[in-house]
């Protein structure tokens, strides 16, 4: 299970980011799948979890507009990538631009991890604390 929040090393020029060890330890392989996330973040999945989530999305009827929209959002941006020996990977340019990441935060979200722009994550957390009070 992916837990915690981290401020990883990141090189904006090369788009290379280091996945924290506690996140890497939850992976079954060195391959991860990245895709657009909701609230302007990037979703990161272990390959097994990606397959499970994909099956859920594909179970929706193709004749339903909402189902088609979620599939398009979810699959059109997805990319497989491999971690190097030091646990680093390159964030695809389209995903980096979507999430507007220059100072990343990686958070565990249970069955996946998310990469946020630090200021966006702080704002989101602030809104969450208002809702949960």
Break the chain into its structural domains and give their ranges: 5-131
pLDDT at 71: 93
Q: What percent of the chain has pLDDT over 90?
A: 92
- Residue 129's pLDDT is 74
pLDDT digits (tens, 9 = 90+) for 6-55: 999 999 999 999 999 999 999 999 999 999 999 999 999 999 999 999 99
Predicted pLDDT of residue 78: 97
| d(C-alpha 13, C-alpha 118), whole Å | 18
Find out if CATH 1.20.990.10 is the number for domain 5-131: no
Among candidate residues 54, 47, 96, the one with its CA nearest the CA of residue 75 = 54
Confidence band of 133 (pLDDT split at 50, 70, 90):
low
């Amino acid at each position: 299970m992916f837990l915690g929040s981290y401020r990883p090393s990141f090189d904006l020029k090369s788009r290379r980011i280091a996945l924290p060890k506690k996140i890497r330890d939850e992976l079954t392989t060195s391959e991860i799948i990245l895709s657009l996330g909701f609230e302007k973040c990037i979703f990161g999945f272990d390959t097994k979890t990606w397959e499970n989530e994909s099956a859920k999305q594909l179970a929706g009827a193709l004749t339903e507009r909402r189902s088609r929209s979620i599939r398009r959002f979810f699959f059109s941006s997805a990319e497989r990538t491999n971690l190097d020996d030091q646990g680093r990977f390159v964030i695809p340019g389209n995903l980096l631009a979507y999430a507007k990441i220059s100072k990343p935060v990686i958070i565990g979200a249970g069955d996946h991890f998310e990469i946020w722009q630090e200021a966006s994550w702080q704002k989101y957390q602030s809104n969450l604390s208002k809702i949960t009070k």
